[in-house]
Amino acid sequence: MRKDRLYAGLFFMHTFAFMTDVKKPNIIVYTDGASRGNPGPGGYGVILQSGRHQKELSEGFRLTTNNRMELLAVIVALEALKVEGSKVTIYTDSKYVADAVEKGWVFSWAKKRFKGKKNPDLWIRFLNIYPKHQVRFVWVKGHANNPGNERCDELAVEAALQPNLKEDAGYQPET
């Protein structure tokens, strides 16, 4: 074997080993959803924290529900992560979202194709991104002076109050 091929192979193996051994980031996420009326104008707020870095995300919709915004906040947060396999702790005041995942309900709902369940479009979107990370949910009491939760609430409410809100295409009014 030629030396240049041997060295190239060793370099590749070393580089690949280094790349696969890179420590996955620990991400802290705060989320909140809000609606002014249920249904009504709504929005979500997200804070992503990794080390010294922090990013805030928010968006508002014309007609939606608080639970849709709570779930959408989690989805947007996970979709914003750049490194697959990240360890993610999500702090949410939504029992609907936290319990659905931590108690495994959403996986049963999926097996039954979400028959009779609300927000299947968002749960399907969630289930497409969820396995790409190591996600843990922590429920926090809303409006209890938790700075991350309070800031997300501000972001969600501000987003819901903006003019020219987008349509929540997946929202289905109850008949």
Cis peptide before 39 (omega within 30 of 0): yes
Q: Answer yes or no: is 172 within a domain.
A: no
Catalytic residue status for 93: yes
Q: Which domain holds residue 131?
A: 25-160
Number of domains observed in the structure of the chain:
1
Residue 161 has pLDDT above 80, yes or no: yes
The CATH code of the domain that includes 131 is 3.30.420.10
Could you give the CA distance from residue 147 to residue 166 in angstroms, rounded to a whole number? 28
Decide if 21 is catalytic: no
pTM listed for this prediction: 0.86
Encode pLDDT of 49-102 as tens digits. Answer: 999 999 999 999 999 999 999 999 999 999 999 999 999 999 999 999 999 999
* Residue 143 is a catalytic residue: yes
On average, the pLDDT of the chain sits at: 90
pLDDT above 80 for 125: yes
For the question of residue 99 being annotated catalytic, the response is: no
pLDDT of residue 24: 81
Residue 68, domain member (yes or no) = yes
Q: Determine which one of 21, 51, 53, 143 is catalytic.
A: 143
Confidence at residue 8, expressed as pLDDT on a 0 to 100 scale: 42
Sequence-ordered list of residues with C-beta below 8 angstroms from that of 170, at least 6 positions apart, any chain = 68, 119, 121, 122
Q: What is the pLDDT of residues 57-71, one digit of tens each?
A: 999 999 999 999 999
174 is a domain residue: no
